[in-house]
C-alpha cells in the first residue's frame, strides 16, 4: 500500500436511523467512517478511531473494501459508540433519540508512527481536547482541517479556540458559525473566525452547499441537486472526506485547489445521501464521481 497521505481522526459508531423512507438499526456510522470512505476515492487514507468488542467484523470488511489503512483503528473492551435519531419529512431537521458514548468516552487517540508524518490531517468532530492531543503528535503537516459542533462551542470553548488557532481550515455549519462568533451575518461570522487564526473557514449549509472564506475573498459551492435523499446522516463528513481526499491527491494547497476540492466534496456527498450508511459509496467508482463532477461543473459554469 502507498504511504498514507491523509489521516482522519474522529468517531466510529453504530447508528439507528429513521427517515421518511425507512428505518435502519445498528448500521455503520460515525464521522471517521463517512470521511474515510469519501476520501478513499482520491488518496491513501488512514483511519484513527475506537470501537468496542461488539463491533461487527463485516463493518471492518467495509473499511477494507474502500482500501482504508486500518493501523489506527483501536479496539477497546466495552461497547461501540451508538447514536439514534429521526429525520423530519423535509430531511433537513432531525431529532436525536439517544447518544451512548461507550468506548468513545475514554478514547485517547494515538497515531501510528507513519501517520504522524502524513501531509494532510482531518480532525473530525471529537472533543477539542482530543483534537489537541492529536495535534501534539503530528510532525509538520502540510494542511490541517478541523470540524466542530455546538456542544464543544458551549462546553469547551477555551480548548476549541486553541484548536482553531492551530489549524489551517475550520469547517462548521451555519448555526455553529453564528454561535461561535456571536454574529448573525455569516460574512461577519467568518471574518471573526478568520481573526482567530485559520487561513480558511468553510461554513456548511446543507442542501444549499458550502461557503469558503479567506482573507482574499469568498467562494460558494452549491450542493448537487437530487430528486430523492434517502439518508442525510454523515453528509457533512462525506463532503469533508471528498474535499480532503481531492486536496491530498493534488498535493499542493492554494485557494484554487481548495475551491476545486470543495466541488469534489459536494459531488461525493451527493452520492452518499442516496442510501443509508456507506451503501451507495460502496457501489461507487471514480469514473462515476468524474461524470457527476463534469455535470456539476456544467450546471455552475457561466460561460
**d(Cα 142, Cα 120) in Å, to the nearest integer?**
6
We find that the CATH architecture of domain 6-300 is 3-Layer(aba) Sandwich (3.40)
pLDDT tens string, the chain, 303 residues long: the values are 689 999 999 999 999 999 998 999 999 999 999 999 999 999 999 999 999 999 999 999 999 999 999 999 999 999 999 999 999 888 778 889 999 999 999 999 999 999 999 999 999 999 999 999 999 999 999 999 999 999 899 999 999 999 999 999 999 999 999 999 999 999 999 999 999 999 999 999 988 899 999 988 999 999 999 988 999 999 999 999 999 999 999 998 999 999 999 999 999 999 999 999 999 999 999 999 999 999 999 987 755
Three-class HEC string of the chain: CCCCCEEEECCCEEEEEECCCCEEEEEEECHHHHHHHHHCCCCCEEEEEEEECCCCHHHHHHHHHCCCEEEEEEEECCCCEEEEEEECCCCCCEEEEEEECHHHHHCCCCCCHHHHHCCEEEECCCCHHHHHHHHCCCCCCCEEEEECCHHHHHHCHHHHHHHHHHCCEEEEEHHHHHHHHCCCCHHHHHHHHHCCCCCEEEEECHHHCEEEEECCEEEEECCCCCCCCCCCCCHHHHHHHHHHHHHHHHCCCCHHHHHHHHHHHHHHHHHHCCCCCCHHHHCCCHHHHHHHHHHHHHHHCCC
- Provide the residue ranges of all domains of the chain, joining segments of one domain with +: 6-300
User: Which residues have CB under 8 Å from 281's CB, separation 6+?
Assistant: 37, 38, 66, 238, 268, 271, 272
Prediction pTM value:
0.95
Amino acid 1: pLDDT: 67
Contact 41, 245 (CB under 8 A): yes
Give the cell for residue 98. 439517544
Contact 81, 12 (CB under 8 A): yes
Contact 276, 27 (CB under 8 A): yes
Nearest to 53 by CA among 26, 75, 27: 75
16 φ, ψ to 5°? -115, 115
**d(Cα 61, Cα 114) in Å, to the nearest integer?**
23
Amino acid 301: pLDDT: 72
Give the cell for residue 214. 479567506
**d(Cα 259, Cα 262) in Å, to the nearest integer?**
5
Amino acid 302: pLDDT: 56
Amino acid at each position: 500500500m502507498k504511504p498514507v497521505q491523509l489521516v482522519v481522526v474522529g468517531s466510529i459508531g453504530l447508528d439507528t436511523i429513521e427517515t421518511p423512507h425507512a428505518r435502519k438499526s445498528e448500521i455503520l456510522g460515525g464521522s471517521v467512517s463517512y470521511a474515510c470512505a469519501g476520501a478513499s476515492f482520491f488518496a491513501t487514507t488512514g483511519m484513527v478511531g475506537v470501537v468496542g468488542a461488539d463491533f461487527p467484523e463485516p463493518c471492518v470488511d467495509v473499511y477494507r473494501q474502500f482500501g482504508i489503512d486500518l493501523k489506527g483503528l483501536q479496539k477497546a473492551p466495552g461497547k461501540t459508540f451508538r447514536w439514534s435519531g429521526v429525520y423530519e419529512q423535509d430531511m433537513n431537521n432531525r431529532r436525536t433519540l439517544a447518544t451512548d458514548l461507550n468506548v468513545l468516552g475514554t478514547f485517547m487517540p494515538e497515531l501510528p508512527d507513519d501517520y504522524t508524518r502524513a501531509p494532510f490531517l482531518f480532525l473530525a468532530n471529537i472533543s477539542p481536547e482530543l483534537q489537541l492531543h492529536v495535534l501534539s503528535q503530528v510532525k509538520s503537516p502540510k494542511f490541517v482541517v478541523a470540524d466542530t459542533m455546538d456542544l464543544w462551542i458551549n462546553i469547551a470553548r477555551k480548548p476549541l479556540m486553541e484548536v482553531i488557532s492551530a489549524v489551517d481550515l475550520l469547517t462548521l455549519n451555519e448555526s455553529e458559525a453564528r454561535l461561535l462568533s456571536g454574529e448573525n451575518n455569516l460574512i461577519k461570522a467568518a471574518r471573526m473566525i478568520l481573526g482567530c487564526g485559520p487561513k480558511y473557514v468553510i461554513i456548511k449549509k446543507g442542501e444549499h452547499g458550502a461557503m469558503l472564506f479567506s482573507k482574499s475573498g469568498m467562494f460558494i459551492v452549491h450542493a448537487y441537486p437530487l430528486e430523492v435523499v434517502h439518508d442525510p446522516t454523515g453528509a457533512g463528513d462525506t463532503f469533508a472526506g471528498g474535499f480532503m481526499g481531492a486536496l491530498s491527491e493534488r498535493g499542493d494547497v492554494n485557494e484554487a485547489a481548495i475551491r476545486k476540492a470543495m466541488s469534489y466534496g459536494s459531488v461525493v456527498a451527493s452520492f452518499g445521501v442516496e442510501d443509508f450508511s456507506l451503501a451507495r459509496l460502496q457501489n461507487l467508482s471514480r469514473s462515476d464521481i468524474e461524470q457527476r463532477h463534469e455535470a456539476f461543473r456544467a450546471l455552475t459554469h457561466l460561460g
